[in-house]
Amino acid sequence: MRIAYTNYYDLAQYITPSSTTTGYSILNTQDERLTTVWKSDSATTQTIIVDLGAAYSITTFGVLGHNLVATGTSVIGNSTVGGAGTSAMTWITTGQSSAQIITYNAGAMVKFVSPMTYQYWKFTFTGLTSPLQIGRLWVGTYLQVDPSSLLDFTVTYKNDDVVVFGKGRQKFATKGVTWREFNFSFPESSHTMVSAIKTMYETVGNHGSVIFCNFDDLTDYALVLPCYCSIDGELAFQHSERMRFKYGLKLLENR
Task: Report the predicted TM-score, pTM, of the whole model to 2 decimal places.
Answer: 0.89
**Are residues 138 and 21 located together in one domain of the fold?**
yes
Average pLDDT over residues 249-254: 94
pLDDT score of 125 more than 80: yes
Average pLDDT over residues 21-43: 97
**Are residues 51 and 170 located together in one domain of the fold?**
no
In the listed set 95, 123, 142, which residue is the last one of a domain according to the structure? Answer: 142
Distance CA 195, CA 201 (A): 10
Residue-level pLDDT at 94: 36
154 vs 219 pLDDT, higher one = 154
**Are residues 18 and 117 located together in one domain of the fold?**
yes
Residue-level pLDDT at 83: 52
Instruction: Spell out the residues 6+ positions from residue 124 whose beta carbon is closer than 8 angstroms to its own.
Output: 45, 46, 47, 73, 74, 75, 76, 77
Phi, psi (5° rounding) for residue 200?
Answer: -60, -45
Q: Please answer whether residues 40 and 46 qualify as being in contact, where contact means their C-beta atoms are separated by less than 8 angstroms.
A: yes
**Are residues 167 and 137 located together in one domain of the fold?**
no
Confirm whether 148 is domain-assigned. Answer: no
Average pLDDT over residues 167-186: 93
Q: What percent of the chain has pLDDT over 90?
A: 68
- Check the CA dihedral 217-221-222-223 and report its sign: negative
Residue-level pLDDT at 73: 86
**Are residues 32 and 132 located together in one domain of the fold?**
yes
Element (H, E) at 239: strand 237-241
Residue-level pLDDT at 166: 93
Q: Please answer whether residues 113 and 100 qualify as being in contact, where contact means their C-beta atoms are separated by less than 8 angstroms.
A: yes
**Are residues 7 and 124 located together in one domain of the fold?**
yes
3-state SS of 94-113? CHHHCCEECCCCCCCEEEEE
The boundaries of the domain holding residue 196 are 153-253
pLDDT digits (tens, 9 = 90+) for 192-222: 999 999 999 999 999 999 999 988 887 777 7
Instruction: Spell out the residues 6+ positions from residue 104 whose beta carbon is closer than 8 angstroms to its own.
Output: 68, 69, 70, 72, 74
- In this structure, the number of other CB atoms found within 10 A of the CB of residue 46 comes to 21
Residue-level pLDDT at 81: 59
Number of domains in the chain: 2
In the listed set 142, 161, 176, which residue is the last one of a domain according to the structure? Answer: 142
Average pLDDT over residues 41-57: 93
Residue-level pLDDT at 111: 92
In the listed set 142, 171, 186, which residue is the last one of a domain according to the structure? Answer: 142
**Are residues 93 and 66 located together in one domain of the fold?**
yes
Distance CA 140, CA 63 (A): 12
Asked whether the bond before 147 is cis by omega within 30 degrees of 0, the reply is yes
Residue-level pLDDT at 13: 85
pLDDT digits (tens, 9 = 90+) for 65-120: 999 999 988 888 877 655 544 444 444 433 334 578 898 988 899 999 889 888 88
- In this structure, the number of other CB atoms found within 10 A of the CB of residue 193 comes to 19
Residue-level pLDDT at 85: 45
Give the pLDDT band (50/70/90) at residue 144: very high
pLDDT score of 177 more than 50: yes
63 vs 85 pLDDT, higher one = 63
**Are residues 95 and 115 located together in one domain of the fold?**
yes
DSSP readout, 8-74?
Answer: GGGG-SEEEES---TT--GGGGGSS-TTS-EE-SSSS-EEEEEEEEEEEEEEEEEEES----TTSEE
**Are residues 18 and 138 located together in one domain of the fold?**
yes
Count the residues in the chain. Answer: 255
pLDDT score of 232 more than 50: yes
Amino acid at 148: S
Average pLDDT over residues 12-34: 95
Q: Please answer whether residues 110 and 60 qualify as being in contact, where contact means their C-beta atoms are separated by less than 8 angstroms.
A: yes
**Are residues 21 and 133 located together in one domain of the fold?**
yes
